[in-house]
Amino acid sequence: MHPPLRLVAIDVDGTLVPAIGQALTVRVGRALKDAQEAGITVVIATGRRTAYTLPLFEGLGLRADTPLITSNGAVTRTLGGEALARCTMESRVARGLCGLLRPFGAMVFTFDRPGRGELVVEDLSQAHGRIQVWVEANRNAIEIITPLEDALVDGEEPIQGMAAGTVAQMREAEAVVKASEWGAECACQRTEYPARGFSILDLLPMGVSKASALKNLAVRLGVESREAMAIGDNWNDVEMLEWAGQGVLMGNAAEELRALGKARGWRLAPPNDQDGVAVVLESAVGKRVKVKAD
Q: What is the CATH number of the domain that holds 252?
A: 3.40.50.1000
Strand order in the sheet with 142-144: 142-144, 119-121, 107-110, 160-165, 198-205, 186-193
Q: Which of 205, 237, 265 is the last residue of a domain?
A: 205
Alpha helices per DSSP H over 54-138: 91-101, 124-130, 132-138
- Kindly state whether residues 105 and 159 are assigned to the same domain: yes
Q: How far apart are CA 78 and CA 236, in angstroms?
A: 21
Q: Which of 205, 223, 240 is the last residue of a domain?
A: 205
- Kindly state whether residues 19 and 81 are assigned to the same domain: yes
- Kindly state whether residues 64 and 200 are assigned to the same domain: no
What CA–CA distances, in Å, run from 151 to 28, 78, 137, 159?
39, 28, 22, 13
Task: Indicate whether 182 belongs to any domain.
Answer: yes
- Give the per-residue pLDDT at 208: 97
- Give the per-residue pLDDT at 255: 95
Q: Which of 156, 171, 205 is the last residue of a domain?
A: 205
Q: How far apart are CA 87 and CA 158, in angstroms?
A: 9
Phi, psi of 41 (to 5 degrees): -75, 120
- Kindly state whether residues 193 and 114 are assigned to the same domain: yes
Domain carrying residue 55: 7-86+209-293
* Residue 213 Cα to chain centre, angstroms: 11
What CA–CA distances, in Å, run from 174 to 21, 109, 137, 205, 209?
27, 16, 26, 14, 15
User: What is the DSSP pairing of strand 107-110 with strand 83-86?
Assistant: unpaired
Answer whether residue 291 shows pLDDT above 70: no
- Kindly state whether residues 132 and 190 are assigned to the same domain: yes
Name the average pLDDT for the chain: 93
- Give the per-residue pLDDT at 293: 55
Q: What is the mean pLDDT of residues 199-206?
A: 95
Task: Indicate whether 1 belongs to any domain.
Answer: no
- Kindly state whether residues 58 and 109 are assigned to the same domain: no
Task: Indicate whether 265 belongs to any domain.
Answer: yes
- Kindly state whether residues 74 and 139 are assigned to the same domain: no
- Kindly state whether residues 232 and 273 are assigned to the same domain: yes
- Kindly state whether residues 24 and 162 are assigned to the same domain: no
Task: Indicate whether 2 belongs to any domain.
Answer: no
**Helix or strand or coil: residue 186?**
strand
- Give the per-residue pLDDT at 134: 77
Task: Indicate whether 194 belongs to any domain.
Answer: yes
Which comes out higher in pLDDT, residue 122 or 214? 214
Phi, psi of 15 (to 5 degrees): -125, -70
Phi, psi of 178 (to 5 degrees): -65, -30
- Give the per-residue pLDDT at 132: 73
- Kindly state whether residues 55 and 116 are assigned to the same domain: no
Could you read off the pLDDT of 104-143 as tens digits, one per residue?
988 999 999 989 999 999 887 766 555 777 788 888 999 9
What CA–CA distances, in Å, run from 36 to 7, 31, 43, 67, 204?
9, 9, 10, 12, 30
Q: What is the CATH number of the domain that holds 156?
A: 3.30.1240.10
pTM above 0.85, yes or no: yes
Task: Indicate whether 137 belongs to any domain.
Answer: yes
- Kindly state whether residues 227 and 244 are assigned to the same domain: yes
Task: Indicate whether 198 belongs to any domain.
Answer: yes
* Residue 280 Cα to chain centre, angstroms: 19
- Give the per-residue pLDDT at 36: 97
Give the chain's domain count.
Answer: 2
Could you read off the pLDDT of 134-175 as tens digits, one per residue?
788 888 999 999 999 999 999 999 999 999 889 999 999 999
- Kindly state whether residues 108 and 187 are assigned to the same domain: yes
Could you read off the pLDDT of 241-290 as tens digits, one per residue?
999 999 999 999 999 999 999 999 999 999 999 999 999 999 999 987 66
Q: How far apart are CA 133 and CA 83, in angstroms?
A: 28
What CA–CA distances, in Å, run from 117 to 11, 138, 206, 285, 287?
26, 11, 24, 41, 46
Q: How far apart are CA 136 and CA 130, in angstroms?
A: 12
- Give the per-residue pLDDT at 135: 80
| Residue (of 242, 167, 158, 154) closest to 200 by Cα position | 167
| Residue (of 238, 255, 233) closest to 15 by Cα position | 233
The percentage of residues in the chain with a pLDDT greater than 70, rounded to a whole number, is 95
Answer whether residue 66 shows pLDDT above 60: yes
Residue 197: which pLDDT band, with cuts at 50, 70 and 90? confident
Question: Angle at CA 104, nearest 5°, toward 131 and 189?
Answer: 70
